[in-house]
Structure 1
Amino acid sequence: MPPRSRVTIRDVAAQAGVSVATVSKVLNNRYGVSPDTFARVTAVIKDLGYEASLVAQSLRNRRTNVIGILVADIEPFSTELLKGAADAIRGTGFELVVYSAGGRTGDPTGWELRYLTRLSGTLVDGAVLVTPAVDLEGIPGTPVVAVDPHTGRAALPTVDSDNLHGGRLATEHLLSLGHTRIAMLTGRADLKSAQQRETGYRGALASAGVPVDENLVRRGDYDAKVATESARELLAGPDRPTAIFAANDTTAIAAIEAARELGLRVPEDLSVVGFDNIPESALCAPPITTVQQPIREMGHRALELLVRLINGEETADTHITLGTELVVRQSTRPPTP
């Protein structure tokens, strides 16, 4: 008879009717698997004669002293966050490795799951996920901290900022200047931060007695290309807004460029407020009024929390929310009469 081909973890998952991540949990005796599922997967492993790789077996009970940071792309937000994580890792005995999906966000199969399944227990002792686009309960059991988490129920430890308050601050600033036709370029719909910033925008308008014009709420997706198209549509019409609140600084910069293309001046013809306070926001012409979230501190706190979890230390607070504040610069002014 021909030799039997080697059984893989995917074979086990298919036979048991579960995900690869669930099989990984069973193999590593991690939390998050029901007794019935555990028994079913164990039976399939025995029936198929599956053997985990010798590398995984040899490393399962050993430290790699490596922490992974998983980012969808290397862009201003993740760059600032990485600086904070790099500061926090000094003196911990761990090394930091960055894994990038190259901008492949919105992947329905979850690039984070694939990376974590590949790295879990063999190459890293834990991971920080930056703006994950998956249901956090579906991630393998290796210690993980999520920064700017998905909109699903956060089963994992998280670090984010007070995005709701920040959205209100941005909108209230524009209202205080006398603007009432205030547009918004929203963020990534799958992230809690985007939902909260929009909720803050809507709440501030409601408190001021200004009805929300749904025609002024357009997609930004935290993406310059998407935001540019939306800003052009907003500003090309006869009843254009006098101000735009962009859900991050990258899309605020895109809105300013779109305004210039249409012959509009910022802030004389259009006021713009961003969110994040990345270094580029202060270098723009004009410098952008923005909501500051402490991005470096978020990276620092996420790394500190993860190290405590890896070391098995008691952690009182595993859901950390940091404050936001308005930074007023030269991209906003009262509307021209």
Structure 2
Amino acid sequence: MRDLESRPDGETGAILVVGAHGQLGVELCRSLSLVGRLVAVGRDTCDLASAEQIVATVRSVKPQVIVNAGGYTAVDAAETSPELAHAVNAAAPGLLAAEAKALGGLMVHYSTDYVFDGAKASPYLEDDATAPLSVYGRSKLDGEIAVQNVDAAHWIFRTSWVFGLQGGNFLKSIARAARSRTSLSVVADQVGAPTPVSLLADVTALAVHRYLNGASPMPSGVYHLTAQGETNWHGYARHIVETLAAAGVPLAVKPEDILPIAAAEYGSAAARPANSRLDTSKLRAALNIDLPDWREGVDRVLAEFVEGRRLLG
């Protein structure tokens, strides 16, 4: 596996962010704008289902770093659209990595806990056996393999339970439902760590900054990147409601009216892993950083929603 090479001081090329208009892409543009010359493209310019657009975009920009923030993330819909999920989540990352290798640059890609089956009793390590339960999980695993097979300089960051100010996510769904519904039923037999996109973006920016400025870079490979701690979806939902209530937001539901249910009762089209916990020791050692508890990110985003009145929109 190829390791990253440090760059001479002052020799900084462009950073290309693909999928720049999505939940993660918006935060990456914020963080990476402080690191180097940023070129941000969305699906209107670079559709990850189009090999021609991918190649044309990369060859036009000639970036030193490609950051792939795009992806097909409709987990249940992927069950009936496997070809599209594979094109966006597997073929596109491999093609981006090949273009990065041709330029002698770095490929940064994001993957998911869904590459595991969730049967392990403890947090997953990077080299644990993969066994995706869904089309989405399989497509993301195939994307990891495609990037690794190219043997370009690369980092693959696996994460879980992502949320932020942009796009749709569990935090926003619960916050909005809590204003109009007097009871909620939430899955209690799946465990993980809610992770803000701001954390993913800031860690990425730190690593890319060191790469571009000649510091000793992380070796190529897979790294787990999530907030610390753990909860289940039911506990997560209760925390959201309790935090909003404490902030004076008028709610229809009370924490005790959030009912725990089994995942089987929810009836999703795609199976989810029961254990989404990822061990982040490798990443923390490589960058010499600490990662915050999941509650810190959740509380910060909820405060931004309340203060900015975006929650009410």
TM-score class normalised by the smaller sequence: 0.3 to 0.5
TM-score, normalisation: structure 2: 0.40
Bigger radius of gyration:
1
The answer to which structure, 1 or 2, has the higher relative contact order (CA under 8 A, 6+ apart) is 2
TM-score, normalisation: structure 1: 0.37
